[in-house]
Amino acid sequence: MTPVLSLRNIHKTFGGITAIEDFSLDLHAGEVVALVGDNGAGKSTLIKIISGVHPPTSGEILLDGEPASIPDASIARERGIEVVYQDLALADQQPVYMNLFLGREPVKGPLRLLDRRRMIAETESLIKELDVRIPSVRATIRDLSGGQRQGVAIARATHWATKLVLLDEPTAALGVAETARVEATITALKARNLAILIISHSLDQVFRLSDRICVLRRGQQIGVRDTAQTDKNEVIAMITGLT
């Protein structure tokens, strides 16, 4: 199959500092790839390159096998790439359904009024499909738990993504039960045949969710392993430089 996303020899510098050096990776539909490494390894920089926040200094990005330019985040979204950052970027004072359409609200009629009925119906359908357990799509974001907020952020990415979802530490501040619910939502994402790239410091989570594991260390790509054919000891050795 043609990869949804291909990164070829990506290099990124900030002034005289090299953040990413010669990184290459293919992401396929219906696949979860975990990006792991210590703090400062370059994981978040790589996510920002894919999502159009930072342009690569050199290298090539391909979408569905065709060379692609992603000069900014809005172009990334137009090309079907959505990101769930650690801060979630949710509007706390707005209800769930408004957050799902934030910045892309549908309108109707000559007065271009907000089509709230459509937003509510589409949000309810998606929340049910992904089994995100919230009191109501009319609930205000500030009244939800951390896991419920994360579920809403992932649902929003799911609603708009047609190719790829990038997840940056999706369960970093959550308890055990909420983490399990978010992981179930990510598994539902995979079932929608999207490509998924996840950053996680939890190797237990990485081994539960991923099909492949890509290791970064100090901006360098150490290797890519099929999850089923490696173990934590090998991955830790790659992260720490013991191999």
Task: Give the total number of structural domains in the chain.
Answer: 1
Question: Does the pLDDT at position 113 exceed 70?
Answer: yes
Does residue 173 or residue 128 have the better pLDDT?
128
- Asked if residue 195 is part of any domain, the answer here is yes
pLDDT for 158 equals 84
Each residue of 140-192: pLDDT tens digit?
999 998 888 988 998 898 889 999 999 998 888 788 888 888 888 888 888 88
- Asked if residue 24 is part of any domain, the answer here is yes
Question: Does the pLDDT at position 225 exceed 90?
Answer: yes
What is the C-alpha to C-alpha distance for residues 199 and 15, in angstroms, rounded to an integer?
Answer: 25
pLDDT for 20 equals 96
Question: Does the pLDDT at position 243 exceed 70?
Answer: no
Domain range spanning residue 18? Answer: 5-90+161-240
Each residue of 30-61: pLDDT tens digit?
999 999 999 889 999 999 999 999 999 999 99
> What is the pLDDT of the chain when averaged over all its residues?
92
- Asked if residue 233 is part of any domain, the answer here is yes
Each residue of 61-104: pLDDT tens digit?
999 999 999 999 899 999 999 998 877 678 999 999 999 998 89
- Asked if residue 96 is part of any domain, the answer here is no
- Asked if residue 151 is part of any domain, the answer here is no
- Asked if residue 135 is part of any domain, the answer here is no
What is the C-alpha to C-alpha distance for residues 132 and 187, in angstroms, rounded to an integer?
Answer: 12
- Asked if residue 103 is part of any domain, the answer here is no
- Asked if residue 133 is part of any domain, the answer here is no
Give 197: exposed, middle or buried? Use CB within 10 Å, 0-12, 13-18, 19+: buried
Q: What is the CATH number of the domain that holds 55?
A: 3.40.50.300
pTM over 0.85: yes
Determine the angle formed by the axes of helices 176-191 and 146-160, rounding to 10 degrees.
10
